[in-house]
Structure 1
Amino acid sequence: MAELNGRPLGLEQLQTLALTNYGHFTSLRVDEGRVRGLALHLDRLVRDCRVLFGVDLDTERVLGLIRRAVPPHGATTIRVTVFDPATDLGRPSAAVDPQILVTERAAGALPLPALRVQSATYARDTPEVKSVGLFGSLRARRTAQLNGFDDALFIDGDGLIAEGGTWNIGFFDGDHVIWPDADCLEGVTMKLLQKVHAHRVGPVTIDDLPSMQAAFATNAAIGLRAIAQINENHLSVDHSIIEILRKEYNGIVGDLI
């Protein structure tokens, strides 16, 4: 299912998005009509719309369009993409009328198997914005997969662990849940977990990994996913902190769409 402003998406509009690649989005998992952190997803859309287009987004309109795509029962993944179909490569400054594209796909069964990730020195453009420009992230993911891993973990220019291409990362050192202190997109799932479980934020480097007992990836589609390996460093996927955090996250009551 794909609708632009509540109507079937046209080829010309899709072509503009594909060729200019200028816009932003949020992805949310809907379980039985409820979304964890719905307000945070909407806040993200409003904030990023101001940054990229300089206009305010009508969240009630967004909700109405999401409701059209949500099935009455079961789990699904909704992506809301905001872009201006009139965007021109020569004059992107004229893109001031963003439209709302809503797409729906089946949600996978959770929890997912543990990840094996390879580090890559990379920083996304304007990391605080959830941009549709995913070239660098996908290239790093492709490289990691060709090297036998599942995904890439981004390390910034100062050697600090920042984030995955489409997920945040957290660690457990035996005493504390630690979220890396580096420029990244602060995900909704990460923010929700920070509300329900004590933690600290601090710099984490590859050299710190031997002192970590567990690590995990988070985003709205996967919830919390254990990380089994980072480069040559192996981590426990059965550590009790993984199940504790997963239960705490699953215990958050979602907001009705």
Structure 2
Amino acid sequence: MVTLDGKPVSVNDMLPLALTNIGHFTSMRVAADGSIRGLALHMERLVRDCKTVWSADLDPERVRECVRQGLEGQSRPCIVRVTIYDPKVEMGRPGDANEPHILVSVRGAGALPPEPLRAKSVVYERDLPEVKHAGLFGALHARGAAQRTGFGDALFIGRDGLVSEGGTWNIGFVDQEGTVVWPEAPVLPGVTMALLQQRAGHRVATVTLAQAKGMAAAFATNTSIGVRPLSAIDDAEFPVEHRVLSQLQETYLSIPGENL
């Protein structure tokens, strides 16, 4: 079931999103008990991005209500995606669209964490990286290209040669001293990353591709995967069982969920 403002969505409602692809979203993992880790941060993201994309205010309580309606009768755990867009948006006059609506879709959730990931480095920079927007062509094209050469996903490297993020995930490293390192670069401020930064010692620093390959371990984070070890970046292999990675996974799983 996909709903728009709490009601079943129609094809005509979806056409503007499909044809213009202007919108922003957040995805949240709903636990078996119905709680969501980082729920408040997800709501903050939606409100912040709505102001950036649409120059409009968004009522987080209305979003919560739409999510509750969208989850009715759904099996859990699951992933709920909240997309904010204006069905009246037009390609010629996107600036006229300023009445965003709430689209809720639900899919099944996999196990935490998923299998380790092999990433291929590619030179790519997302548009407006601080916003979790629906413009995913470049990121998914890079992911598909990486998969066609035997990798699981793409790791983005900026034109400045610095590591930034994955297609739909943040990347973190464990240096040779056992400290967690997050790349200093234009990236999406991920909710899972923020939750871990609140609870575990870390540092933020610029990371070149060569430095990344010399780290003791690497991992990906987002709401769907939690803390997922990286087994390789290009031809550089990493251990998927590491003391710090285990601590991060345990820390993440210990974070209590918030109720809608």
Tell me, in whole angstroms, the C-alpha distance in 2 between the residues paired with 1:221 and 1:207.
Answer: 28
The equivalent residue for 2:11 is 11
The aligned length equals 257
Does the 8 A contact of 2:76 with 2:108 survive in 1? no
TM-score between both structures, scaled by the size of structure 1: 0.98
Matches within 5 A, 1:60-139: 60-71=61-72, 74-139=76-141
Letter in 1 for 2:193: M
Does the 8 A contact of 1:153 with 1:163 survive in 2? yes
Tell me, in whole angstroms, the C-alpha distance in 2 between the residues paired with 1:24 and 1:209.
Answer: 30
SS of structure 2 residue aligned to 1:25? strand
The equivalent residue for 2:216 is 213
Tell me, in whole angstroms, the C-alpha distance in 2 between the residues paired with 1:114 and 1:48.
Answer: 31
Matches within 5 A, 1:33-44: 33-44=34-45
Tell me, in whole angstroms, the C-alpha distance in 1 between the residues paired with 2:50 and 2:170.
Answer: 22
Letter in 2 for 1:46: V
CA shift digits 1:207-226 (9 cap, x unpaired): 11343110000000111100
Q: CA deviation at 1:106?
A: 1.0
Q: CA deviation at 1:192?
A: 0.2
Letter in 1 for 2:44: D
Tell me, in whole angstroms, the C-alpha distance in 1 between the residues paired with 2:138 and 2:192.
Answer: 23
Q: CA deviation at 1:71?
A: 5.0
Does the 8 A contact of 1:209 with 1:233 survive in 2? no
Tell me, in whole angstroms, the C-alpha distance in 2 between the residues paired with 1:122 and 1:210.
Answer: 18
The equivalent residue for 1:243 is 246
Tell me, in whole angstroms, the C-alpha distance in 2 between the residues paired with 1:27 and 1:209.
Answer: 27
Q: CA deviation at 1:70?
A: 2.4
Unaligned runs of 5+ in 1: none
Q: Is 1:192 equivalent to 2:215 in the alignment?
A: no
SS of structure 2 residue aligned to 1:255? coil
Q: CA deviation at 1:174?
A: 2.7
Q: CA deviation at 1:183?
A: 0.4
Q: Is 1:174 equivalent to 2:176 in the alignment?
A: yes
The equivalent residue for 2:57 is 56
Tell me, in whole angstroms, the C-alpha distance in 1 between the residues paired with 2:212 and 2:43.
Answer: 35
Tell me, in whole angstroms, the C-alpha distance in 2 between the residues paired with 1:156 and 1:133.
Answer: 18
Q: CA deviation at 1:111?
A: 1.6
Q: CA deviation at 1:165?
A: 0.6
SS of structure 2 residue aligned to 1:218? strand
CA shift digits 1:65-101 (9 cap, x unpaired): 1111225773110000000000001100111111000
Letter in 2 for 1:41: H
Tell me, in whole angstroms, the C-alpha distance in 1 between the residues paired with 2:157 and 2:139.
Answer: 12
Letter in 1 for 2:59: D
The equivalent residue for 2:153 is 151
SS of structure 1 residue aligned to 2:194? helix
Letter in 2 for 1:173: D
Tell me, in whole angstroms, the C-alpha distance in 2 between the residues paired with 1:168 and 1:194.
Answer: 12
Tell me, in whole angstroms, the C-alpha distance in 1 between the residues paired with 2:18 and 2:212.
Answer: 39
Tell me, in whole angstroms, the C-alpha distance in 2 between the residues paired with 1:6 and 1:43.
Answer: 20
Tell me, in whole angstroms, the C-alpha distance in 2 between the residues paired with 1:186 and 1:50.
Answer: 16
Percent of residue pairs bearing the same amino acid type: 50
